[in-house]
Structures are given as structure tokens and as C-alpha cells.
């Protein structure tokens, strides 16, 4: 089983490929659909995601795996075939979001704990039977003048470790996602503060993973980039973001981890691509740095589609373009003029 985990993890960070995060909860995709004045029905959600998965060249050439929501992994296409069969046809690995969301952390104002451990062993077994080969769990860390507390980091890291061990027990590669949010305090959420919090969080998460006997060669890390908060008064340069993120990973991530697939957080499409490409140009080790983007891969396609069948081809072209740009970024080959 260990070899299978290693092979799956390595395939997820195959050269020039990354992960499409299409695991938006019903509440989140309802917000996204509101941008195009589209009702969030099971049929509309299916149509939208099917459109992405049927973008054949993007899926075959640039996407290694897709993270699905529970509804999607069980859905059929309009034609009657299983949604998962579309992914199998393009040799795309099937992933599944298994946490049930972040809830308030009792007695710790402004902090959250990710839930979903109850019954997780049985759910993972079922997802494996359906065809999943990897899973995802997101922990959320916030930066303010009082947070994060050590307790919040440790509690979330404990949950990540329990999730990861259950995944590997069931033959699934766990994507470990400790996200330091970008929406911190204007004056407190500097790039230096983000570096400090991200470093500490990674140290604690990896200590817990090792304690839980998780095989680090059979995981993928999905971290935030080290970046100033979206509302920060003092914004860092692109080079600073790349330098600080690389330094953080080199000093606080064990070498045995096969790869990193960054989350985009609150970055816009092009910034998420640009930062990834700069890092891949600057790196001095063979660390695999790729993407696991949701909004940063989908937003232009969603707006172009607008819920209308007649816009589907143009929307697929928009999705393929963003996938290609991020594929180039994962190889350090992206440049601004390619966006025009």
C-alpha cells in the first residue's frame, strides 16, 4: 500500500500538472453562482462542473487530479455516465473533500476548528470504493493581534494528523491543508507576521503527522503562500512573496514530502500564477511546487459561461487558458505577455 500512496502523491505533482479544486460546498458555490445571477440547483452545479471536466485538453495536459464535493462524486452527467468516469477517461486522479467545515472554537473568540472526524473511517472506505485516490482536509488559521493561539494551531494540527492517518489506512493520499487566511488585520498581517505564523503552523503540523505515524512520502502539502494580508497597509513585492515562501518551506517542511500544491487564497488569477512561476524560477532545490487552485482556475470560466449553454465553448477556452498558464508556472516558464 505504501508504494501506491507514493505513486499517487508523485502523480499529483507530475511536471507541469496541478490540482483543480472543484470541491466548493453548496453554500460556497451558491455565492459564486450569485455573481452570474444563477440559481444554485443540483442540475446547474452538475452542468457547470461537467463543462470543466469535459475540457479535454486542459484535463489531459495540465490537471493531475480534481478535488470533488460529496454531491459531485455521486452525480451522473447529463448523458447518464458517472461524473467520475469523465475524470478516469482523461487519466485524472479523483479526490474528495472530507472535512465538514470550520466551526467556532469553543471559548476562543475569532478562531475555528475544522470538523468531520466522526465516521471518517467509514466515509473514506466508501469514497475509495467509488474511485477516489486522494482526499483533502482544510484547517483555518487567522491572523489578528490576538490570534492565532497555540491552542488553535495544536487542535487543528491534531485533527489534520488524525485525518491523514485515516486516509493512509484506507489507501488514500491525504492533502494536508493548513491555511493561514489572507484577510487579517490591516496593520498586523504583514508578510513577516505571515511568515512567523505559517512557519510555526507547519512545524506543529509536521510534528503531529510524525507522531501519528503518517508516511510523509504519501502526502501532499497544500499551504498558503507567505504573503501580506489582502487589506494590509504594507504589501510585499512579488519577489518577496516568492523568497519568503521558499525560505519557509525549505526550513519548515521535511524533505520527504513529495510536493507542494499551493492554495490561491484571496489572490487574483494572474497573481496566483505569477507568484508560483517566480518561485519555480528561483528555487535552488528539486522541490516540486505546483497548484491546487479553485477560484483562480475557475473564475474566468464561470463569468464567461454565465449559466448559458451557448457560452460553453468560450468558457472552456477560458478554463483551458488558466490551466495552461498555471502549468507553465509550475515549470517556471510563465510570462506576463502570455496573458494578453
pLDDT tens digits along 105-134 = 999 999 999 999 999 999 999 999 999 999
pTM for this one? 0.96
Catalytic one of 222, 274, 288, 320: 222
Q: What mean pLDDT comes out for the span 69-86?
A: 96
pLDDT tens, residue by residue, 82-93: 999 999 999 999
- Going by C-alpha positions, the residue among 299, 326, 268 that lies closest to residue 52 is 299
Report which secondary-structure segment, H or E, holds 159.
Answer: helix 150-169
Pairing of strands 63-68, 18-22: parallel
SS3 for 260? strand
In CATH terms, 2-339 corresponds, of 3.90.1300.10, 3.40.225.10, 3.20.20.70, 1.10.10.10, to 3.20.20.70
Contact at 8 Å (CB) between 261 and 19? yes
**What is the enclosing helix (H) or strand (E) of 291?**
strand 289-293
Q: What is the mean pLDDT of residues 184-188?
A: 69
Active site annotation includes 177 = yes
222 counts as catalytic: yes
216 DSSP β-pair partners: none
The rounded distance, in Å, linking the Cα atoms of 59 and 79 is 19
Residue-level pLDDT at 2? 74
Among residues 24, 111, 177, 179, which one is catalytic?
Answer: 177
Amino acid at each position: 500500500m505504501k508504494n501506491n500512496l507514493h505513486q499517487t502523491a508523485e502523480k499529483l505533482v507530475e511536471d507541469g500538472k496541478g490540482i483543480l479544486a472543484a470541491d466548493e460546498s453548496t453554500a460556497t458555490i451558491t455565492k459564486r453562482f450569485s455573481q452570474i445571477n444563477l440559481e444554485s440547483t443540483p442540475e446547474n452545479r452538475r452542468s457547470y462542473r461537467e463543462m470543466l471536466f469535459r475540457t479535454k485538453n486542459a484535463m489531459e495536459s495540465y490537471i493531475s487530479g480534481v478535488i470533488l464535493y460529496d454531491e459531485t462524486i455521486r452525480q451522473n452527467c447529463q448523458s447518464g455516465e458517472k461524473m467520475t468516469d469523465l475524470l478516469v477517461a482523461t487519466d485524472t486522479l479523483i479526490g474528495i473533500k472530507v472535512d465538514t467545515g470550520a466551526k467556532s472554537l469553543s471559548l476562543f473568540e475569532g478562531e475555528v476548528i475544522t470538523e468531520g472526524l466522526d465516521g471518517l473511517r467509514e466515509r473514506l472506505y466508501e469514497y475509495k470504493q467509488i474511485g477516489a485516490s486522494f482526499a483533502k482536509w482544510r484547517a483555518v488559521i487567522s491572523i489578528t493581534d490576538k490570534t492565532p493561539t497555540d491552542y488553535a494551531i495544536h487542535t487543528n494540527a491534531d485533527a489534520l494528523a488524525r485525518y491523514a492517518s485515516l486516509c493512509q489506512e484506507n489507501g488514500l493520499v491525504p492533502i494536508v491543508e493548513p491555511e493561514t487566511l489572507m484577510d487579517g488585520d490591516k496593520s498586523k498581517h504583514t508578510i513577516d507576521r505571515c511568515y512567523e505564523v505559517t512557519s510555526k503552523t507547519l512545524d506543529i503540523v509536521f510534528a503531529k503527522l510524525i507522531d501519528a505515524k503518517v508516511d510523509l512520502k504519501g502526502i501532499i502539502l497544500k499551504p498558503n503562500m507567505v504573503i501580506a494580508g489582502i487589506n494590509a497597509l504594507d504589501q510585499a513585492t512579488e519577489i518577496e512573496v516568492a523568497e519568503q515562501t521558499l525560505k519557509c518551506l525549505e526550513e519548515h517542511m521535511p524533505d520527504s514530502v513529495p510536493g507542494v500544491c499551493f492554495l490561491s487564497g484571496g489572490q487574483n488569477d494572474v497573481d496566483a500564477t505569477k507568484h508560483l512561476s517566480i518561485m519555480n524560477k528561483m528555487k535552488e532545490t528539486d522541490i516540486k511546487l505546483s497548484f491546487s487552485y479553485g477560484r483562480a482556475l475557475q473564475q474566468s470560466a464561470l463569468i464567461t459561461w454565465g449559466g448559458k449553454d451557448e457560452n460553453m465553448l468560450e468558457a472552456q477556452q477560458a478554463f483551458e487558458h488558466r490551466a495552461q498558464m498555471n502549468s507553465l508556472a509550475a515549470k517556471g516558464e510563465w510570462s506576463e505577455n502570455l496573458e494578453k
